[in-house]
Amino acid sequence: MASTVTLQPSFAEAMRFEPESRRKLAGRILANVRADELTEAAQFDELHRRREAVQTGRMPLIAGKDALRQVREATLGHA
């Protein structure tokens, strides 16, 4: 069972760290947030690229049942 972590106790505990440790923790948190933002931005860029490819006819749409069949054949060797 996962425990719920709340901000206030975590912040209060972090404030007991030495200043250098707090700086390192802040840097790690900020790097994580930036990585999340970059990932999200890249996902949106890919979504827009694919939507344009479909709209211009460069990428055909595949029916769901056909896509599932192709995935099964690629992963299991059969449909």
Predicted confidence (pLDDT) per residue in 17-50, tens digit? 999 999 999 999 999 999 999 999 999 999 999 9
User: Alpha-carbon distance 6 to 43, whole Å?
Assistant: 29
Q: Sort residue 77 into left (φ over 0), alpha (ψ -120 to 50) or beta.
A: left
Confidence grade of residue 2 (pLDDT, cut at 50, 70, 90) = low
pTM attached to this predicted model: 0.53
pLDDT at 38: 93
